[in-house]
Each structure stands twice: as C-alpha cells, then as structure tokens.
Amino acid sequence: MISSSPSPLIPIIILLLLCIPTLFYLAPHILPPPPPPPITFPDELEDLTLFRRATVVDSINPSKSKPKRLGSTNLKPKIAFLFLTNSDLQFAPLWEIFFDTNSSKSSNLFNVYVHADPTVNPKVKIPGGVFTEDRFIPAKQTRRGTATLVAAARRLLATALLDDPNNAFFTLVSQHCIPLHSFKYFYDTLFEVNSHQVAELRHLKYKSFIEIVSKDQFILDRYNARGKNVMVPEVPFDKFRMGSQFFTLTRRHAVVVVADRRLWKKFRLNCLRPNSCYPEEHYFPTLLSMKDLKGCTSYTLTRVNWTDSVDGHPHTYYPNEVSKELIYELRKSNFTKPYMFARKFSPDCLEPLMNMANDVIFRD
Ligand SMILES: *[C@@H]1O[C@H](CO)[C@@H](O)[C@H](O)[C@H]1NC(C)=O
Ligand SMILES: *[C@@H]1O[C@H](CO)[C@@H](O)[C@H](O)[C@H]1NC(C)=O
C-alpha cells in the first residue's frame, strides 16, 4: 500500500532550500579566490615581437657579443641592472651612491633599466640620478604567484639586449634589494680581473649566477601547481628546478631566455594554486639547467633570509636590525663568491643604511 503520510524527504528538501542562500553567502568566504586572468593574447604577441628582435640582434651579428669586437672598439663590457618593481624604488638614494660615477669612474660600465608596474607610479625622482624617465621600459602589470613576473623579467632582458651590445651581464633586482658591496667590487668580481685584456680572453667562459635547486620539500607541489601532467612533455618532473628569482645572467644566457618559447608555453599557464606556484622561481633555473647547466654557478649573489618565513615571504629587516655587523654577516657565503645584494628590507631602513653607506657598505 502506498503511504499517505508526508514523505520523510520533504523536511530535508526544505532544509536544503533554506541552505542555498547561506551557501551563496558563505562560499566566497570559504573558497579561495579564483586564479587571476591569464596573460592576454595581445600582451603575449607584443612580448613575442620584442623577444624576436632581441634574439635576432645577437644572431645576425654574433661578433657584437664577442670580446674581440669589444676590444677593437675599446669599449669595456657593461653590467645591465634590471630593476623589477611594483612600488616606489625606496632604496634609489642608496643605489645612486652605489652607481656613483664620480668616485668609481664607472659611468660607462653599467646601464639601468626599470620595469615598474604601470598601475603604480613609483617615486624615484632624484635630479641628475641614474633612474631617469628614459630608463623606464614599456611595462605591464605584475602579480605575485603568476607568470607576469617572468614576462616582466624577460622584457627587461630583451630591452637591455637590444639597447646596448656591450651589456655583458644582466643583474635582476627588486625594490627590496640593497647592495652589500661597491659597484667596483661587483664589477671586478664578475669580470674577475682588473685588466681588460684578460677579461676579454675569459669572456666566453663567464658563468651565470643563478640558483638551481633540485631537492626541496615543496618541489612536487610547485610542479603540479598548474594541474597534474600539465608540464610534460616539455618539462618532465626530473628536469624541474627551483631557485631564487634574482640572478646575474651572461649575455649568452639572456639570449637563451628571451629566445625560449617551448618552456614558456607551459610556465605561462595559469596556476590553479597560486600559493604553491611562483613561476619566477622555476622558469629560469629549469630552462638554464636544461640548456647549459655547466654555464651556471647554481648559486645566486642575492642573500635572502628564509628563517621563520611567513606566507612565502622571507624575513624582512627593520631599522633596529640594521647594523655594520648585519652587512658583514649578509656578505658571507658558502660559495666561491660573497653575496653582493640582500633582501628584503623595509623602506624605513633607508636612513640607517645611508648613514653607513660610505663607511661600511661601499668600503671594500
Ligand atoms: C634571519 O632571520 C631571523 C628571524 O627570522 C633572525 O633571527 C636572524 O638573525 C636572521 N639572520 C641573519 C643572518 O640576519
Ligand atoms: C653555510 O653552511 C652552514 C652549514 O650547512 C650553514 O649553517 C650556514 O647557515 C651556511 N651559511 C650561509 C651564509 O648560507
């Protein structure tokens, strides 16, 4: 017999109906935010055009990147400083002393390029300084945990490649980085000699300073951050590497990075879990270790303190921690070369750092 009593399901259905609005209210509070939109096609196309031009410059006229040519024109190789920022360049006054062209006679030994997120208007106005308007390259928006940071670094590399054939090294820094030595010290360390002649002979043997790490507790998470089996076949797991975003690349490697399309196709994909993605810490070490591991030192020249890191951010130094001893400590390294730069420093460290710029930081 069919029961005439109300179905026991009805109260449950009513309860569920009541729950739906609550779910709509709660969902945005419980679920993680949706991933940011991918890099747009027009942006990608614009970059590709720039990268092609930068790649062609060295391949059409390879002698330009060779020491012979530098010697014959009597031009010394330069270091291109690539500033990647999405805020004020708070340490610009300190960098001005670093680059001080009067004391180190270094004016012809470096170039400065700045990629500033166009949604910010960084304050760096120092009359007569190195951060002039024309040092700001055409920039696009950058977001943490997305491939936009890789794209920005590649834009800086491409622009610097095109701008000056004498750019021999390319050093990436951010607004939170500070120098730990003078420019002259850094220059001599990179070129290893005081004599230009010897530098020329060694030119082709220069290595890139880029951290390359294959063992890390998070590396599998990072590998799968775009979904399972997404990175193959271009990047098998055993080829996937990790390392600091802050590097000093040789010209040869800068061209390799700008010319790459195969790995970029994968690394540019949206991260499903932005908190375990960080493409900029994987793209460069993976690409260069696949292409020319022997040409890399596998360590970075930028010191960072990961002790007690919070939410993927390293330890940030505040004014009360800034001292002569800290600078000396941060320079110490377990590798062949001491650290040249350090991060991250809060903006209000500028004053104590300026106070010891000449007597401590740039005295070496
Ligand atoms: C690194 O940071 C920790 C705190 O997170 C601090 O105690 C330590 O002194 C720092 N190390 C150096 C070398 O600055
Ligand atoms: C050098 O290696 C030692 C031993 O592994 C370690 O305790 C120390 O923190 C390292 N120093 C730096 C600057 O990384």
Report the separation in Å between the CA atom of 309 and the middle of ligand 2, taken as the mean of its atom positions.
17
Report the separation in Å between the CA atom of 342 and the middle of ligand 1, taken as the mean of its atom positions.
13
Q: What is the pLDDT of residues 64-112, one digit of tens each?
A: 444 444 444 557 899 999 999 999 999 999 999 999 865 556 678 999 9
Pocket test for ligand 2, best of 298, 301, 302, 334 (most atoms within 8 A of CB): 334
Contact (CB, 8 A) for 147 and 47: no
- Range from 71-85, 179-193, 207-221 carrying the lowest mean pLDDT: 71-85
Question: Which of 324, 363, 362, 349 has the alpha carbon at shortest distance from 91?
Answer: 349
Instruction: For strands 78-85 and 167-174, give the pairing.
Output: parallel
| pLDDT higher than threshold 50 for residue 15 | yes
The fraction of the chain above a pLDDT of 90, given in percent, is: 66
CA distance 269 to 267: 5
CA distance 94 to 107: 16
pLDDT reported for residue 204: 56
CA 170 to chain CA centroid, Å, is: 11
Tell me the average pLDDT of the chain.
Answer: 86
- Which is the closest atom of ligand 2 to the Cα of 334? 1
| Ligand 2 binding pocket includes 141 (Cβ within 6 Å) | no
Q: pTM (2 decimals)?
A: 0.86
